[in-house]
Amino acid sequence: MLMKYPLDHPYSLATKAVISQVQSDALKGITQNEAVKRSQTYGLNTFKSQKQKSLWLIMLVQFKSPIVYLLVFGAAVSLYFKDVLETIAILAVIVINALIGFFMEMQARSSMNALKKMDVILAKVIRDGKTRSVPSEQLVPGDLVPLEAGDIIPADGRLVAVNRLQCDESSLTGESLPSDKTIEALKADTVIGDQHNMAFKGASVINGNGKIVITGIAAETQLGTITSLVDSSADTVTPLDKKLNKLSRKLIWITLGMTAIFAATGFIQGKSLLMIIETSIALAVAAIPEGLPIVATVALSYGMLLMARRNAIVKKLSAVETLGSTGVILTDKTGTLTENKIFADTFAFPDESVKVHIEDHELKFPDGAIKSSAENFDKLLFTGILCNNAVVNVNEINNSKPKLSGDPVEVALLQLGMAAGLDTSALLKKYVRIGEVPFSSEIMMMGTLNRTPDEDFVAAKGSVEHLLEKCSRIQSGEHIGEMDSHSKEEILLKSEQMAASGLRVLAFAYRVDKKMDERGFLTDLIYIGMAGFLDPPRMDIKGAILDCRNAGIKVVMITGDHPQTALNIARKVGLIEQDNKKVITGKELPKSDLLTKAWRKRILDTAVFARASPKQKLEIAGVFQQDGSIVAMTGDGVNDAPALKKADVGIAMGIRGTQVAKETASIILKDDSFTSIAEAVAHGREIFQNIQKFVVYLVSCNLSEIFIVTVLGVVIPAATLLPLQILFLNMVTDIFPALALGLGAGDDTVMQRPPRDPKKNIITNEKWLVIALYSTAMTSAVILAVVYCREVLHTDDRVSNNVAFITLTLTQLFHVFNMSSSGSAFFKNEITRNKFVWIALFICSGLTLMVFAVPGMRLVLGLAVLPIKLWITAITISLLPLFVIQCWKAFQKYRLHKSL
């Protein structure tokens, strides 16, 4: 029998019929070899991505620019006046500019593609009877996929097993309420919103668990049907793009004003119309850094790749810029500030407390053996093994070393049971699970109903407060009595003491009876005792938090843990001072619409929030945002998705994070460490700083060109730079040094300054004054060189022009060293340490010398072989702006130091 795919109305078939038609197995799934065959037959489980531009189209787009249109017009004018050589030269410049843009865009695309490959979404699948993780694109029809809360469903599938399974399908059906799932067959005309026995690609599991047999992948899914109707998606404009566009408009007005001055002066002086038109066009090209958006893209892409190597995968370009202005980081505790390596430390029973630890896979009691609570201890271990979703994977190479995976606390409970000599596999086989109440933030507990031929056993674990509400009896050794209010108070007091010592506390309870109802079995429980689990803080956290403080970033912990546990960890990692006891719990936090001015101030002044729900996390973020802060927020669960979306920068945990959180967030941490967050913020600042540096560099260099041409056109017309010389300068001194600045590592003080105001433009008013100083210094140097050569060395017009060309070229190349941060040493800063800067200078210097060495190129650019003294003159004078600006920076540094 051949496998049938795609199936017609799989929701109308019984589970056995579906499994039969896709030739799968409800327990073991398909084999790995079969999966490979089906992948070759049916393709990958991916949508056709938006078609990338062809290489020819990318090249043609480089010519789609008003600047290019002006150059073509200039070439046409030159051809009209029969200046064939200049026509060819202008056309060559157009092609060279296009090639530079083409290769830079290809580099940006290559970097982005490499980044996408780093963010592979994994899916769980059962093949050959074993659960494994594979890239979701490798799933095939017939695969058996387990589902649990937090998963994004990787493909369409028919449900073959469910346990209180609920899915959010609002993106497909528009239904805001979750869909309760079943496995019963439905009518063939059932609409998608009522297909409760199907799970659809892109939907999210919000409660319970289950299994599906995949019946549709890629385009054969409901989501694929919708996606195929969309030909292309609109490009979004990032905040950075908007700022660059705003800058370009300002430069256009400056260019038009200066060009008008030059043109008017040229007419008065009787210059030829051809010269005026060509020079005006060249001025426009020189003043507007047309390669700015591409250079910015390359810088962002390169920075994002570096961040990915540092365990932070950035999914959105706009997040890079936003990171640079982050003022508040709202972080979880477990796994982010701590090691997320949970192990049992203390057990508290009604009659005694005992310390434990595992040494060489054996359970040890440091304070001596258990005295009167041995029965409680055994029952707690038994309950912890049954009320547990951790998975034991036997190592195929060495069966004596099983690998555990799942929730860290549940893994710790299994490890504890194994160390105590219990056969966990045998217990789970004997006590078959027939019911489960999954843990949720609402009930704060988990329970299982397990059946044997003789009895039913209810195993429960959860927060002390919530579990005690379900307990009516208490066990002390072999005696079981009624639970009274006094006993509850003592238990709660003990749990407070354990939490205050930094332990994560869970209470355990059970019930034994004859056959029980599979619904509502978490009642009339017998309290056993509490276990305290230790999750030590990460060793590198203190330094990262200190870096954030120095950078003016407030770090706030929001956790669902006990207040004392939260405070204890916060003190250990340096988040708060040792005597700080300020903590706000979820119970006392008012609803957002009831927040008074005093409450808002209290929230802003607090660094630790405990017992907080996901909704309250969202509201806390809103308070900081309303105060004007840019908020970065971490999250890992399904319920964190709204908060991650609301935050200015959503950060998902890559190890323990659910697919919902990863899909919603703009950044994914591969190691779940807060240190990686701090490094990502620092790198985000570095990237924006680099963008700001090359923008300042480009604008100051280009404005100096137009100032020089305008001034020389008025004062010494014969020495004015020729259009092709300006175009050559624009290519040589703009592209390579600017790109080198964009790829720099940043200075050491990037995390010693307060966050950047996100509302400010790339070039602030202060920066415009600095640009004016830079441009004036470079312009003055070139004018000085021309005047010196004419008045002292008595050179002719052509030589004066050549000296102006050399001086301006070298001045702009030396100008790259002025881009170092204020206060840094001249010979040791982020610019001199940037290897790309030295490579750029080497390339540019080589191209300049080549222009003078090759006769044909000299002729095109109107250059001549100059004596050595003129080269010495040009080099000496070109160093003056660097000297002047460095002296000015030193003076500013002295004034700042004196004022402090």
Return the closest-CA partner of residue 286 out of 38, 97, 517, 137. 97
Paired residues of 450 in beta bridges: 433, 457
The SS3 of residue 562 is coil
Distance, CA of 520 to chain centre: 42
Determine which helix (DSSP H) or strand (DSSP E) holds 763, and give its type and residue range: none
Distance, CA of 585 to chain centre: 29
Paired residues of 633 in beta bridges: 330, 650
The SS3 of residue 327 is coil
Residues annotated as catalytic (active site), given as ranges: 332
Return the closest-CA partner of residue 466 out of 498, 495, 427. 495
Separation of alpha carbons 268 and 65, rounded Å: 31
Separation of alpha carbons 256 and 251, rounded Å: 9
Q: Which tokens go with 124?
A: 């769980």
Letter string b/e over residues 179-190, b meaning 16 or more CB atoms within 10 A of that residue's CB: bebebebbeeeb
DSSP assignment of 837-855 equals HHHHHHHHHHHHHHHHHSH
Residue with tokens 């002292």: 792
Check if the beta carbon of residue 886 is closer than 8 Å to that of residue 826. yes
DSSP assignment of 212-235 equals EEEEE-GGGSHHHHHHHT----PP
Determine which helix (DSSP H) or strand (DSSP E) holds 267, and give its type and residue range: helix 239-269
Check if the beta carbon of residue 20 is closer than 8 Å to that of residue 208. no
CA–CA distance from 709 to each of 83, 576, 717, 781, 796 (Å)? 22, 60, 9, 13, 18
Check if the beta carbon of residue 626 is closer than 8 Å to that of residue 599. no
The SS3 of residue 774 is helix
Q: Which tokens go with 586?
A: 């979820």
Return the closest-CA partner of residue 163 out of 429, 407, 439, 436. 436
The SS3 of residue 859 is helix
**Which are the contacts of 842, defined by CB distance < 8 A and separation ≥ 6?**
none
Question: How many residues are recorded in the chain?
Answer: 900
Separation of alpha carbons 4 and 26, rounded Å: 17
Rounded to 5°, the CA angle 605-610-612 comes to 100
CA–CA distance from 352 to each of 437, 486, 494, 886 (Å)? 30, 17, 11, 73
C-alpha atoms less than 13 angstroms from C-alpha of 552 in its C-beta half-sphere = 15
Return the closest-CA partner of residue 226 out of 198, 203, 204, 205. 203
Say which DSSP state 55 is in. H
Say which DSSP state 782 is in. H
Separation of alpha carbons 426 and 460, rounded Å: 20
Number of other CB atoms surrounding residue 825 within 10 Å: 8
Q: Which tokens go with 122?
A: 């994994």
Check if the beta carbon of residue 815 is closer than 8 Å to that of residue 778. yes
Say which DSSP state 351 is in. S
Paired residues of 432 in beta bridges: 451
Return the closest-CA partner of residue 139 out of 9, 43, 47. 43
The Cα diameter of the chain in Å comes to 114
